[in-house]
Structure 1
Amino acid sequence: MKNNWSCFYRCILTALLLISSVANASELSDRFHEYQQALKENDADKIATAAKSVFSVVENYPKNNKNFAAASLNYGKALMGLGKFEDAEIYAKKSLESHRKIYGDKGVQLIDPLLVLAEIRARDVYSNRNGGYRRYIEDALDIAKENDGKDSLLFARVNLEAGKITLNYAKERRAHTYLEVAHTAFYGPHKKDTYGRFYSSFYLGKYYLSRNLYKKAEPLLAEALDVVDVENGKDGQLELTTRAFLVETYDKLGQKEKSIEQCRAIGKATPFNMDQELVPLFNRVAEYPTSALEFRREGYAIAQFTISDSGFAEDIEILETKGASSFGDAAKKYLEQARYAPRFVDGAPVDTPDRKVKFNFNLAD
């Protein structure tokens, strides 16, 4: 399973590559290859620079030119990656306008720029105050439904993408509606679509996890893990993230042995770096002590502990505090609830003593 499947509905990059290979496009082709290289390096600044370079070649092309449509969208996505949402929206709208001139108001090719605009709006907390992203999603769903029907693979995929955007960025309950439609489709008429099965289970499980509905999250996350393990073999970060979600889910459900099983599976798949900063398997924030808040105190606590062969923090000792002694209590409470991937030696999990971590308590945070 490939992690870049999120652009399933339209492959703009391939389209631009094919178009740029025609005559009178040598410069465009060279710059596009630079853009492709930046994508492989996954460097947001380089991607934006290369995307801008590609767009500069086509910016004076007619607005009904496919190169213009693709390059402006890619530049918009690159700017979104830098968090420059206002500028990103400008170029994504240019692309949407161009797509409309080329394909009409109901062409399926409009789905890509519509969903990019939805993500831009959802990620920008200022422009999203009135749910501005929703109209783009609904337009994309309408196009998919009118072209291929409500039972189509395209409609299922657009619902899945809509659910991801709404859950990850807008953080609204309506994500459940989109994800339920997608999950029903991918475990019904489109069950042969492995990618859809994994992502619809994963994101619907993530939705329930975000709502602390652990009993509903567990079977969906387990379902997603089965897709990765059984049908596609190991799949790197997707598998590990799913397992980490299951660690938290089983922990909350009081199913200790199952939580430990997932911790160990992650540890076995992940080399343990003794010099690397410790990162828990699921994110929590140490609770700021009430007394320290009342007196506007800032400071830190340094803790030492053992990561057990089961992934628990044991033998916790507070080595140093500054600002308030309660910072040490907060750090200890955090570690008592944290879970880590244990170290493996000769194929077996082992305890790892004398691990240290610093907890900073700053009011600005």
Structure 2
Amino acid sequence: MLKALIPLAISAALSTSVAAQETSFNHAYQKYKDAVESGQPAGQYAKAAYALGVEKFGKDSVNVANLAINYAGTLGVHSKELREQRSELYQRALSIFANDKETSELAKIDPLFGLAESADGRIDTTDYLEQAIEVASKSKDFKLLADLRVNAAQVLIRRFHFKPHAMTQAREYLDKAESYYQSHVANNTLEYVRINLYQAIVHGARGNKNESIERLTNVIKVFDDNLEFDHLLELQARSMLVELYEQKGDRDSATEHSLAIAKMRPWSDDAEQVPIYRVHPKYPISAARWGKEGWVEMQITIDPAGLVEQVTVLDSDGGSKFEREARKAVEQWRYAPKFENGQPVAATTKVRLDFKLGS
């Protein structure tokens, strides 16, 4: 939703010093655009373009607000320092938009969503999302409003998947968006896919497995019947179905989606298979009591259905209790099997499980 690239008006009448400044800014901004378009890291170029843009356009320019949004979008949210830096940039952009009488109120939506992604807690996140939704409500653009509610639910799901209050709020956003989609959006579109996928996640988090399976089945049907390409949303839906069916004890249905996932993914001879359903090992009580840690390295054979059919311990540290629990857990895992010449085949891979107290 954030505008990655912005149009900038450049004056033709420049002094020599201003022309040099112009060249520096244009170079940095072009490097940023090139990095974005090629999918390469763009942070250093966004930072340079922002700093040079402040000198060129002035700190209160709308162009600077857009450059701040670009720069903030390249920063991660994995540390408090980065979140604070992102928040400062988004707040700067929001303040500029608010004080510029010629800027549409809708311009506030991008920095408000950015602030929601950067906020430390659920309450602040929801407050920023509500502000963005209020802006959209005033525009009377009901499609935009519905889309923003889906995006808001996505933010809450991504950040607070295991918090009941966040899932309740996400469900409210999705229900309101869905009431609009049902009348105005065809049920064979990616918008329809997204809302069913997020509804499935919310229902799954609330323990409604059957409703979640029904929603995910709707997603798969859209791809099977209408969309002639593989998509990350389909991969995510099938992975979730494998886990849900395994939890219900329906291994045949889980196998159907494991095979479908394998067909979606190109395999190379040296690619390690990654489990799509895991069961975590139990920590041996006696080891925990004595503060003992350990690890187990295993070689496993994955059959053509994606089931683990053989586990061989290669090495371990900590004793037989760790080995026993590691084996019991891995035997319940599910994989997308490898394919050769269009057919699923058995394959071997290595797995290491670490037993650490407090993890």
User: Shorter-chain-normalised TM-score: which range?
Assistant: 0.7 to 0.9
| 1:364 CA displacement | 5.4
Q: For the structure 1 residues 292 and 176, does the alpha-carbon distance in structure 2 shift closer, same or farther, using more than 3 Å as the test?
A: farther
Question: Which deviations, in whole Å up to 9, do the C-alpha atoms of 1:221-243 show, x marking residues without a partner?
Answer: 12222333433322343322221
1:79 to 75, 82, 93: 75
Contact 1:205 1:216 survives alignment (8 Å) = yes
Aligned to 2:127: 135
Specify the SS of the correspondent of 1:281. strand
| 1:260 CA displacement | 0.8
2:357 to 333, 345, 363: 363
Give the counterpart letter for 1:336 in structure 2.
E
Q: For the structure 1 residues 293 and 90, does the alpha-carbon distance in structure 2 shift closer, same or farther, using more than 3 Å as the test?
A: same
Aligned to 1:3: none
Contact 1:264 1:310 survives alignment (8 Å) = yes
- Segments of 5+ residues of structure 1 without an aligned counterpart are 1-6, 122-126
Aligned to 2:155: 165
Give the counterpart letter for 2:43 in structure 1.
A
Q: For the structure 1 residues 58 and 272, does the alpha-carbon distance in structure 2 shift closer, same or farther, using more than 3 Å as the test?
A: same
Is structure 2 residue 6 aligned with structure 1 residue 12?
Answer: no
Q: How many residues align?
A: 343
| Counterpart mapping for 1:175-186 below 5 A | 175-186=170-181
2:66 and 2:309 map into 1 onto residues whose CA distance is 54
| Counterpart mapping for 1:1-365 below 5 A | 7=1, 12-14=3-5, 16=6, 18-19=7-8, 23=12, 26-43=23-40, 46-60=41-55, 61-80=57-76, 83=79, 84-102=82-100, 107-121=105-119, 127-128=120-121, 131-148=123-140, 152-171=142-161, 172-173=166-167, 174-191=169-186, 194-282=189-277, 285-352=280-347, 354-363=348-357, 365=359
CA RMSD of aligned residues (A): 2.5
Specify the SS of the correspondent of 2:312. strand
Contact 2:275 2:334 survives alignment (8 Å) = yes
- Segments of 5+ residues of structure 2 without an aligned counterpart are 15-21
Specify the SS of the correspondent of 2:354. strand
| 1:33 CA displacement | 2.4
Specify the SS of the correspondent of 2:339. strand
Between 76-85 and 100-109, the greater mean CA deviation after superposition: 100-109
1:277 and 1:104 map into 2 onto residues whose CA distance is 55
Contact 1:303 1:356 survives alignment (8 Å) = yes
Q: For the structure 1 residues 104 and 94, does the alpha-carbon distance in structure 2 shift closer, same or farther, using more than 3 Å as the test?
A: same
| 1:256 CA displacement | 2.3
Give the counterpart letter for 1:68 in structure 2.
V
Normalising by the residue count of structure 2, what TM-score does the alignment of the two structures yield?
A: 0.86
Contact 1:305 1:316 survives alignment (8 Å) = yes
Contact 2:278 2:330 survives alignment (8 Å) = no
Q: For the structure 1 residues 179 and 290, does the alpha-carbon distance in structure 2 shift closer, same or farther, using more than 3 Å as the test?
A: farther
Give the counterpart letter for 2:52 in structure 1.
V
Between 220-229 and 165-174, the greater mean CA deviation after superposition: 220-229
Q: For the structure 1 residues 34 and 227, does the alpha-carbon distance in structure 2 shift closer, same or farther, using more than 3 Å as the test?
A: farther
Normalising by the residue count of structure 1, what TM-score does the alignment of the two structures yield?
A: 0.85
1:250 and 1:361 map into 2 onto residues whose CA distance is 27
| 1:106 CA displacement | 7.3
Give the counterpart letter for 1:33 in structure 2.
Q
